[in-house]
């Protein structure tokens, strides 16, 4: 099978950080250099970003394979980065890692890779949050998930990394089982640190049936039925206490006309990023 391909998503404007995040020094080293060192331990790295960002990072990238983000794709943000890079992979397993994964470890990434030989997998964090910027799975499954995600974006619905999980047979693995949730947080603002809690130990299996039905209805020009199907999807995540996926399915339903404002507001408060005590 060979080594997995590791797609490092190195985009973003660093607006909240206030300066070029990927060049910021973390323990005396540029953040992107640290991320590339860790990811090279577990697989063959493909970095994807805009042409301007690639130019700014310059020598920090070394000899890593670089792919430009394709602006013509309907997906935006990290989903577009995945869509731009996955065409460079022919087979095997793909691991996706954000370029600002300041606390990632090779051990944690390898533990995640062990979960995705036959399905997609992401860490399940505290408060029902899914760290979907860390995601792995078989190449063919990720390609199909990307296709569905971009077809959703073509309707004017927002594409999110969680769409990859929602549209596929996926496993959400309690971060404590992967070595602790701290390593699966990204760097948000200067001085940021992940919470000390190791996160949950449970494992959740995701059934993509409801999501795929909702998307099929939306693509067929039946928005009211699609909204109802997304709402049904959200109820499954609510029973599983995966609030992050419940929120995103409700936001899709809301974009198609469903009134879910009160529940959406409550979920956003629940999922507010915890600060380190």
What confidence score (pLDDT) does residue 102 get?
A: 93
What confidence score (pLDDT) does residue 26 get?
A: 84
88 SS3 class: coil
pTM of structure: 0.94
Query: Which burial class, exposed, middle or buried, applies to 101 when counting CB atoms under 10 A from its CB (0-12, 13-18, 19+)?
Result: buried
What confidence score (pLDDT) does residue 133 get?
A: 96
Q: Among candidates 141, 129, 135, which has minimal Cα distance to 8?
A: 135
What confidence score (pLDDT) does residue 271 get?
A: 92
Query: Which burial class, exposed, middle or buried, applies to 118 when counting CB atoms under 10 A from its CB (0-12, 13-18, 19+)?
Result: exposed
| CA count, 13 A, side-chain hemisphere, 69 | 23
Q: Please, what are the domains in the chain?
A: 5-118+127-137+173-198 (3.90.550.10)
- What is the C-alpha separation between 228 and 78, in angstroms, rounded? 27
Q: Among candidates 166, 7, 170, which has minimal Cα distance to 86?
A: 7
- What is the C-alpha separation between 104 and 45, in angstroms, rounded? 15
For residue 204 the two structure tokens come to 């959740």
pLDDT digit of tens for each residue in the chain (277 aa)? 579 999 999 976 555 665 678 888 888 899 999 999 999 999 999 999 988 888 888 888 988 999 999 888 888 889 999 999 998 898 899 999 999 999 999 999 999 999 999 999 999 999 999 999 999 999 999 999 999 999 999 999 999 999 999 999 999 999 999 999 999 998 887 778 888 899 999 999 999 999 999 999 999 999 999 999 999 999 999 999 999 999 999 999 999 999 999 999 999 999 986 554 4
What confidence score (pLDDT) does residue 24 get?
A: 85
What confidence score (pLDDT) does residue 276 get?
A: 45
The DSSP code for 127 is G
CB atoms within 10 A of CB 154: 13
- What is the C-alpha separation between 16 and 189, in angstroms, rounded? 6
Q: Among candidates 189, 213, 212, which has minimal Cα distance to 275?
A: 189
CB atoms within 10 A of CB 250: 24
What confidence score (pLDDT) does residue 187 get?
A: 87
How many helices (DSSP H) and strands (DSSP E) are in the chain? 10, 10
């Amino acid at each position: 099978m060979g080594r997995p391909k590791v797609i490092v998503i190195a985009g973003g404007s660093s607006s909240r950080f206030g300066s070029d995040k990927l060049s910021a020094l973390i323990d005396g080293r540029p953040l992107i250099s640290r991320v590339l060192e860790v990811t090279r331990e577990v697989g063959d790295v493909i970095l994807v970003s805009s042409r301007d960002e690639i130019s700014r990072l310059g020598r920090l990238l070394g000899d890593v394979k670089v792919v430009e983000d394709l602006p013509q794709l309907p997906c935006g943000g990290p989903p577009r980065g995945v869509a731009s890079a996955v065409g460079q992979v022919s087979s095997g397993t793909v691991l996706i890692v954000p370029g600002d994964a300041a606390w990632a470890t090779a051990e944690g990434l390898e533990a995640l890779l062990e979960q995705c030989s036959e399905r997609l997998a992401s860490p399940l964090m505290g408060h029902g949050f899914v760290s979907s910027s860390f995601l792995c799975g078989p190449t063919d499954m990720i390609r199909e998930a990307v296709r569905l995600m971009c077809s959703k974006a073509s309707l004017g619905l927002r594409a999110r990394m969680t769409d990859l999980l929602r549209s596929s047979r996926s496993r959400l693995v309690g971060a404590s089982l992967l070595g602790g949730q701290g390593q699966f947080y990204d760097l948000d603002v200067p001085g940021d640190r992940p919470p000390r809690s190791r996160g949950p130990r449970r494992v959740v299996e995701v059934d993509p049936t409801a999501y795929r039905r909702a998307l099929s209805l939306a693509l067929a020009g039946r928005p009211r039925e699609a909204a109802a199907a997304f709402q049904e999807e959200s109820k499954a995540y609510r029973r599983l206490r995966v609030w992050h996926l419940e929120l995103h399915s409700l936001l899709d339903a809301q974009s198609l006309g469903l009134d879910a404002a009160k529940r959406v507001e409550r979920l956003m408060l629940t999922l507010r990023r915890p600060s380190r005590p």
